[in-house]
Structure 1
Protein backbone atom coordinates (compact mmCIF):
# COMPACT_ATOMS: atom_id res chain seq x y z
CA UNK A 1 0.00 0.00 0.00
CA UNK A 2 2.85 2.40 0.86
CA UNK A 3 4.46 1.65 -2.52
CA UNK A 4 1.24 2.52 -4.31
CA UNK A 5 0.97 5.91 -2.51
CA UNK A 6 4.65 6.61 -3.23
CA UNK A 7 4.16 5.77 -6.91
CA UNK A 8 1.05 7.99 -7.09
CA UNK A 9 2.95 10.83 -5.37
CA UNK A 10 5.83 10.44 -7.87
CA UNK A 11 3.40 10.74 -10.79
CA UNK A 12 1.75 13.84 -9.34
CA UNK A 13 5.15 15.38 -8.65
CA UNK A 14 6.33 14.63 -12.22
CA UNK A 15 3.16 16.16 -13.71
CA UNK A 16 3.47 19.29 -11.57
CA UNK A 17 7.10 19.73 -12.64
CA UNK A 18 6.13 19.22 -16.30
CA UNK A 19 3.34 21.82 -16.03
CA UNK A 20 5.66 24.26 -14.26
CA UNK A 21 8.33 23.85 -16.96
CA UNK A 22 5.74 24.25 -19.73
CA UNK A 23 4.44 27.41 -18.04
CA UNK A 24 7.94 28.88 -17.72
CA UNK A 25 8.80 28.08 -21.35
CA UNK A 26 5.53 29.56 -22.61
CA UNK A 27 5.68 32.66 -20.39
CA UNK A 28 9.32 33.60 -20.80
CA UNK A 29 10.92 31.74 -23.74
CA UNK A 30 8.66 30.64 -26.60
CA UNK A 31 4.98 30.89 -27.50
CA UNK A 32 2.82 29.99 -30.48
CA UNK A 33 1.06 32.65 -32.53
CA UNK A 34 -1.32 32.47 -35.49
CA UNK A 35 -1.03 34.98 -38.35
CA UNK A 36 -4.31 36.85 -38.64
CA UNK A 37 -4.92 38.54 -41.98
CA UNK A 38 -3.06 39.36 -45.20
CA UNK A 39 -0.72 42.15 -43.98
CA UNK A 40 2.46 40.04 -44.27
CA UNK A 41 1.76 38.46 -47.68
CA UNK A 42 3.59 37.00 -49.54
CA UNK A 43 5.99 36.11 -46.69
CA UNK A 44 3.34 34.94 -44.23
CA UNK A 45 -0.15 33.73 -45.04
CA UNK A 46 -3.36 34.11 -43.04
CA UNK A 47 -3.60 31.28 -40.46
CA UNK A 48 0.14 30.38 -40.62
CA UNK A 49 1.18 29.17 -37.19
CA UNK A 50 4.52 30.37 -35.84
CA UNK A 51 6.75 30.28 -32.77
CA UNK A 52 7.64 33.57 -31.05
CA UNK A 53 11.08 33.73 -29.45
CA UNK A 54 10.42 35.89 -26.37
CA UNK A 55 13.98 36.08 -25.04
CA UNK A 56 15.97 37.06 -28.14
CA UNK A 57 15.61 40.80 -27.49
CA UNK A 58 16.61 40.40 -23.86
CA UNK A 59 20.13 39.57 -25.09
CA UNK A 60 20.26 41.50 -28.37
CA UNK A 61 18.66 44.41 -30.19
CA UNK A 62 16.27 44.08 -33.14
CA UNK A 63 17.85 44.08 -36.58
CA UNK A 64 16.44 45.55 -39.75
CA UNK A 65 13.99 43.16 -41.43
CA UNK A 66 13.41 41.00 -38.31
CA UNK A 67 9.81 39.82 -38.14
CA UNK A 68 8.41 40.76 -34.73
CA UNK A 69 5.24 40.28 -32.72
CA UNK A 70 4.10 43.27 -30.70
CA UNK A 71 1.13 44.37 -28.60
CA UNK A 72 -0.84 46.71 -30.87
CA UNK A 73 -3.50 46.99 -28.16
CA UNK A 74 -4.41 45.21 -24.93
CA UNK A 75 -6.43 42.69 -26.94
CA UNK A 76 -4.44 42.34 -30.18
CA UNK A 77 -0.90 41.37 -31.18
CA UNK A 78 0.42 42.23 -34.65
CA UNK A 79 3.17 40.63 -36.75
CA UNK A 80 5.26 43.07 -38.81
CA UNK A 81 8.78 43.58 -40.13
CA UNK A 82 11.27 45.95 -38.48
CA UNK A 83 12.24 48.58 -41.06
CA UNK A 84 13.68 51.43 -39.01
CA UNK A 85 15.97 51.37 -35.97
CA UNK A 86 16.78 54.00 -33.32
CA UNK A 87 18.71 57.00 -34.64
CA UNK A 88 17.61 56.49 -38.26
CA UNK A 89 15.50 58.54 -40.64
CA UNK A 90 13.21 56.41 -42.83
CA UNK A 91 11.55 57.34 -46.10
CA UNK A 92 9.94 55.46 -48.98
CA UNK A 93 9.86 57.00 -52.45
CA UNK A 94 8.82 55.19 -55.65
CA UNK A 95 8.78 51.80 -53.84
CA UNK A 96 12.39 52.30 -52.66
CA UNK A 97 13.31 52.27 -48.95
CA UNK A 98 15.73 54.98 -47.82
CA UNK A 99 17.55 54.81 -44.49
CA UNK A 100 19.32 58.08 -43.67
CA UNK A 101 19.08 59.02 -47.37
CA UNK A 102 20.67 55.77 -48.65
CA UNK A 103 18.60 53.25 -50.60
CA UNK A 104 18.34 49.85 -48.89
CA UNK A 105 17.39 46.71 -50.82
CA UNK A 106 14.36 44.83 -49.51
CA UNK A 107 15.26 41.33 -50.72
CA UNK A 108 12.08 39.81 -49.25
CA UNK A 109 10.21 41.74 -51.99
CA UNK A 110 12.07 40.05 -54.87
CA UNK A 111 9.37 37.43 -55.52
CA UNK A 112 6.57 39.95 -55.09
CA UNK A 113 8.28 42.49 -57.38
CA UNK A 114 8.72 40.12 -60.31
CA UNK A 115 4.94 39.78 -60.65
CA UNK A 116 4.17 43.50 -60.98
CA UNK A 117 4.75 46.09 -63.63
CA UNK A 118 7.10 48.99 -62.98
CA UNK A 119 4.23 51.50 -62.65
CA UNK A 120 2.51 49.64 -59.80
CA UNK A 121 2.99 51.03 -56.28
CA UNK A 122 3.92 48.55 -53.56
CA UNK A 123 4.43 51.18 -50.87
CA UNK A 124 2.96 54.66 -50.98
CA UNK A 125 5.59 57.34 -50.46
CA UNK A 126 6.08 58.44 -46.86
CA UNK A 127 8.63 60.16 -44.64
CA UNK A 128 9.26 59.57 -40.96
CA UNK A 129 8.34 63.13 -39.98
CA UNK A 130 4.85 62.72 -41.48
CA UNK A 131 4.04 59.63 -39.39
CA UNK A 132 2.32 59.88 -35.99
CA UNK A 133 4.76 61.56 -33.60
CA UNK A 134 6.43 63.71 -36.27
CA UNK A 135 9.97 62.51 -35.43
CA UNK A 136 13.01 63.56 -37.47
CA UNK A 137 14.74 60.33 -36.42
CA UNK A 138 13.58 57.23 -34.58
CA UNK A 139 14.08 57.73 -30.82
CA UNK A 140 16.03 55.29 -28.66
CA UNK A 141 13.90 52.32 -27.54
CA UNK A 142 11.56 52.46 -30.55
CA UNK A 143 11.38 50.90 -34.03
CA UNK A 144 9.43 51.50 -37.22
CA UNK A 145 7.55 48.44 -38.50
CA UNK A 146 5.76 47.74 -41.78
CA UNK A 147 3.79 44.80 -43.12
CA UNK A 148 5.15 43.14 -46.26
CA UNK A 149 1.77 43.67 -47.95
CA UNK A 150 2.22 47.43 -47.76
CA UNK A 151 -1.07 48.27 -49.48
CA UNK A 152 -3.04 46.31 -46.85
CA UNK A 153 -1.26 46.69 -43.52
CA UNK A 154 -1.93 48.54 -40.28
CA UNK A 155 1.62 49.39 -39.23
CA UNK A 156 3.81 52.34 -38.14
CA UNK A 157 2.31 54.49 -40.89
CA UNK A 158 -0.92 54.42 -38.87
CA UNK A 159 0.12 53.30 -35.37
CA UNK A 160 3.31 55.33 -35.11
CA UNK A 161 6.60 53.98 -33.84
CA UNK A 162 6.59 50.84 -31.72
CA UNK A 163 8.22 50.88 -28.30
CA UNK A 164 10.55 48.01 -27.41
CA UNK A 165 8.28 47.50 -24.38
CA UNK A 166 5.45 46.55 -26.77
CA UNK A 167 7.50 43.88 -28.55
CA UNK A 168 6.69 40.32 -27.47
CA UNK A 169 9.54 38.80 -29.46
CA UNK A 170 11.02 37.78 -32.76
CA UNK A 171 9.48 35.13 -34.98
CA UNK A 172 10.97 33.30 -37.93
CA UNK A 173 9.64 29.73 -37.73
CA UNK A 174 6.42 28.73 -39.52
CA UNK A 175 5.47 25.27 -38.25
CA UNK A 176 1.93 24.90 -39.64
CA UNK A 177 0.58 24.13 -42.17
CA UNK A 178 3.21 21.51 -42.90
CA UNK A 179 3.52 22.43 -46.58
CA UNK A 180 4.54 25.98 -45.51
CA UNK A 181 6.93 24.89 -42.75
CA UNK A 182 9.99 27.10 -43.04
CA UNK A 183 12.64 29.07 -41.22
CA UNK A 184 12.46 32.67 -42.44
CA UNK A 185 15.61 34.70 -42.92
CA UNK A 186 15.98 38.28 -44.09
Structure 2
Protein backbone atom coordinates (compact mmCIF):
# COMPACT_ATOMS: atom_id res chain seq x y z
CA UNK A 1 0.00 0.00 0.00
CA UNK A 2 2.85 2.39 0.75
CA UNK A 3 4.26 2.05 -2.76
CA UNK A 4 0.92 3.11 -4.28
CA UNK A 5 0.71 6.14 -1.98
CA UNK A 6 4.20 7.28 -2.96
CA UNK A 7 3.41 6.81 -6.65
CA UNK A 8 0.13 8.69 -6.25
CA UNK A 9 1.94 11.53 -4.46
CA UNK A 10 4.59 11.78 -7.22
CA UNK A 11 1.92 11.75 -9.95
CA UNK A 12 0.00 14.50 -8.14
CA UNK A 13 3.12 16.67 -7.92
CA UNK A 14 3.95 16.09 -11.61
CA UNK A 15 0.37 16.93 -12.63
CA UNK A 16 0.42 20.11 -10.53
CA UNK A 17 3.72 21.19 -12.11
CA UNK A 18 2.42 20.54 -15.62
CA UNK A 19 -0.74 22.53 -14.92
CA UNK A 20 1.31 25.40 -13.46
CA UNK A 21 3.60 25.44 -16.51
CA UNK A 22 0.59 25.40 -18.84
CA UNK A 23 -1.08 28.29 -17.00
CA UNK A 24 2.15 30.34 -16.93
CA UNK A 25 3.06 29.80 -20.58
CA UNK A 26 -0.37 29.79 -22.20
CA UNK A 27 -2.80 31.71 -19.95
CA UNK A 28 -1.31 34.29 -17.61
CA UNK A 29 1.67 35.09 -15.41
CA UNK A 30 2.80 37.66 -12.90
CA UNK A 31 5.52 40.22 -13.71
CA UNK A 32 7.30 42.48 -11.25
CA UNK A 33 8.59 45.84 -12.47
CA UNK A 34 12.33 46.13 -11.90
CA UNK A 35 13.76 49.57 -12.59
CA UNK A 36 12.42 52.92 -13.71
CA UNK A 37 12.27 52.45 -17.51
CA UNK A 38 8.45 52.52 -17.54
CA UNK A 39 8.07 55.50 -15.18
CA UNK A 40 5.65 57.34 -14.86
CA UNK A 41 3.24 54.57 -15.99
CA UNK A 42 4.79 51.83 -13.86
CA UNK A 43 7.09 52.04 -10.86
CA UNK A 44 9.73 49.85 -9.27
CA UNK A 45 8.08 46.91 -7.49
CA UNK A 46 4.68 47.16 -9.22
CA UNK A 47 3.15 43.73 -9.76
CA UNK A 48 1.29 43.02 -13.00
CA UNK A 49 -1.02 40.32 -14.27
CA UNK A 50 0.12 39.54 -17.80
CA UNK A 51 -1.75 37.53 -20.41
CA UNK A 52 0.53 34.86 -21.89
CA UNK A 53 -1.96 33.75 -24.53
CA UNK A 54 -1.82 37.23 -26.08
CA UNK A 55 1.63 36.43 -27.53
CA UNK A 56 -0.30 34.29 -30.04
CA UNK A 57 -2.63 37.15 -31.08
CA UNK A 58 -2.11 40.50 -32.76
CA UNK A 59 -0.34 42.96 -30.48
CA UNK A 60 -1.08 46.64 -31.03
CA UNK A 61 1.01 49.79 -30.58
CA UNK A 62 0.41 51.27 -27.14
CA UNK A 63 0.23 47.91 -25.38
CA UNK A 64 2.74 47.08 -22.65
CA UNK A 65 4.58 43.80 -23.17
CA UNK A 66 7.02 41.57 -21.33
CA UNK A 67 9.88 40.56 -23.62
CA UNK A 68 12.94 38.35 -23.52
CA UNK A 69 15.70 40.94 -23.67
CA UNK A 70 17.87 40.43 -26.76
CA UNK A 71 20.99 41.68 -24.98
CA UNK A 72 20.93 39.63 -21.75
CA UNK A 73 19.03 36.89 -19.92
CA UNK A 74 16.41 39.10 -18.29
CA UNK A 75 12.85 40.07 -19.11
CA UNK A 76 12.03 43.68 -19.95
CA UNK A 77 8.69 45.44 -19.66
CA UNK A 78 8.24 47.91 -22.54
CA UNK A 79 5.55 49.65 -24.59
CA UNK A 80 4.95 48.69 -28.22
CA UNK A 81 5.51 51.80 -30.35
CA UNK A 82 5.23 50.30 -33.85
CA UNK A 83 4.52 46.91 -35.44
CA UNK A 84 5.30 45.08 -38.67
CA UNK A 85 4.85 47.24 -41.76
CA UNK A 86 5.23 50.52 -39.84
CA UNK A 87 8.05 52.98 -40.44
CA UNK A 88 9.49 54.68 -37.37
CA UNK A 89 11.94 57.55 -37.21
CA UNK A 90 13.21 60.06 -34.68
CA UNK A 91 13.50 63.74 -35.47
CA UNK A 92 14.02 66.72 -33.15
CA UNK A 93 13.08 64.72 -30.05
CA UNK A 94 9.87 63.44 -31.63
CA UNK A 95 8.86 59.86 -32.42
CA UNK A 96 7.37 59.65 -35.90
CA UNK A 97 5.42 56.58 -37.01
CA UNK A 98 4.30 56.32 -40.63
CA UNK A 99 5.03 60.01 -41.16
CA UNK A 100 2.99 61.27 -38.21
CA UNK A 101 4.22 62.46 -34.82
CA UNK A 102 3.26 59.88 -32.20
CA UNK A 103 1.07 61.35 -29.46
CA UNK A 104 2.49 59.98 -26.21
CA UNK A 105 0.78 61.29 -23.09
CA UNK A 106 2.33 58.49 -21.01
CA UNK A 107 6.02 59.47 -21.25
CA UNK A 108 8.20 61.08 -18.60
CA UNK A 109 9.17 63.98 -20.87
CA UNK A 110 8.12 65.53 -24.18
CA UNK A 111 11.57 64.87 -25.66
CA UNK A 112 12.67 61.41 -26.76
CA UNK A 113 16.43 61.00 -26.67
CA UNK A 114 17.90 59.19 -29.68
CA UNK A 115 21.54 59.16 -30.76
CA UNK A 116 21.14 58.08 -34.39
CA UNK A 117 18.67 59.51 -36.87
CA UNK A 118 17.88 56.07 -38.25
CA UNK A 119 14.62 55.17 -39.91
CA UNK A 120 13.27 51.66 -39.41
CA UNK A 121 10.72 49.94 -41.60
CA UNK A 122 9.57 46.99 -39.57
CA UNK A 123 9.25 43.56 -41.15
CA UNK A 124 6.27 41.32 -40.56
CA UNK A 125 6.28 40.06 -36.93
CA UNK A 126 8.71 42.79 -35.81
CA UNK A 127 7.96 45.31 -33.09
CA UNK A 128 9.66 48.50 -31.93
CA UNK A 129 9.42 48.75 -28.13
CA UNK A 130 10.43 51.57 -25.80
CA UNK A 131 10.20 52.42 -22.13
CA UNK A 132 7.97 55.32 -21.08
CA UNK A 133 10.87 56.96 -19.24
CA UNK A 134 12.50 58.91 -22.06
CA UNK A 135 15.12 60.67 -19.97
CA UNK A 136 18.64 59.89 -21.27
CA UNK A 137 19.92 56.48 -20.16
CA UNK A 138 16.72 55.44 -18.37
CA UNK A 139 15.52 52.70 -20.74
CA UNK A 140 17.32 50.02 -22.69
CA UNK A 141 14.94 49.38 -25.56
CA UNK A 142 14.63 49.17 -29.36
CA UNK A 143 16.46 52.48 -29.72
CA UNK A 144 19.55 50.55 -28.62
CA UNK A 145 18.97 46.92 -29.62
CA UNK A 146 16.70 47.49 -32.63
CA UNK A 147 13.32 45.96 -33.42
CA UNK A 148 12.37 42.70 -31.75
CA UNK A 149 10.79 39.63 -33.29
CA UNK A 150 7.34 38.63 -32.04
CA UNK A 151 8.76 35.37 -30.67
CA UNK A 152 10.56 37.48 -28.00
CA UNK A 153 7.22 38.67 -26.59
CA UNK A 154 6.34 36.56 -23.54
CA UNK A 155 3.07 38.22 -22.55
CA UNK A 156 1.00 41.40 -22.61
CA UNK A 157 0.52 43.36 -19.38
CA UNK A 158 -3.15 43.53 -18.48
CA UNK A 159 -3.61 44.73 -14.89
CA UNK A 160 -1.49 46.29 -12.13
CA UNK A 161 -2.68 44.72 -8.88
CA UNK A 162 0.00 45.95 -6.45
CA UNK A 163 0.42 48.38 -4.84
CA UNK A 164 -3.28 48.35 -3.99
CA UNK A 165 -3.64 52.13 -4.25
CA UNK A 166 -2.44 52.02 -7.88
CA UNK A 167 -4.58 49.09 -9.13
CA UNK A 168 -5.53 49.71 -12.74
CA UNK A 169 -6.14 48.06 -16.08
CA UNK A 170 -3.23 48.72 -18.40
TM range (shorter): 0.7 to 0.9
User: Structure 1 or 2: larger helix share?
Assistant: 1
State which of 123, 139, 146 in structure 1 corresponds to 2:112: 123
Q: CA RMSD in A?
A: 2.8
Query: Could you tell me whether the CA contact under 8 Å between 2:25 and 2:53 is conserved in 1?
Result: no
* Higher Cα radius of gyration: 1
Change (3 A) 1:22 1:85: same
Query: Could you tell me whether the CA contact under 8 Å between 2:30 and 2:48 is conserved in 1?
Result: yes
Relative to the length of structure 1, the TM-score reads: 0.75
Distance apart, 1:177 and its partner CA: 1.6
Paired positions, count:
166
CA deviation map 1:19-62 (0-9, x unaligned) = 5433321232111111110000000001111122111131x211
Runs of 5+ consecutive residues of structure 1 not aligned to the other structure: 3-7, 114-120
CA deviation map 1:133-172 (0-9, x unaligned) = x74x111111101100012110001111111011101012
CA deviation map 1:57-92 (0-9, x unaligned) = 31x211011100100055200000000111111123
- Which residue number in structure 2 is paired with residue 70 of structure 1? 67
Runs of 5+ consecutive residues of structure 2 not aligned to the other structure: none
- Which residue number in structure 2 is paired with residue 138 of structure 1? 122
Distance apart, 1:100 and its partner CA: 1.4
- Please give the alpha-carbon distance, in whole angstroms, between the structure 1 residues aligned to 2:16 and 2:44: 32
State which of 122, 146, 154 in structure 2 corresponds to 1:160: 146
- Which residue number in structure 2 is paired with residue 116 of structure 1? none
Query: Could you tell me whether the CA contact under 8 Å between 1:142 and 1:163 is conserved in 2?
Result: yes
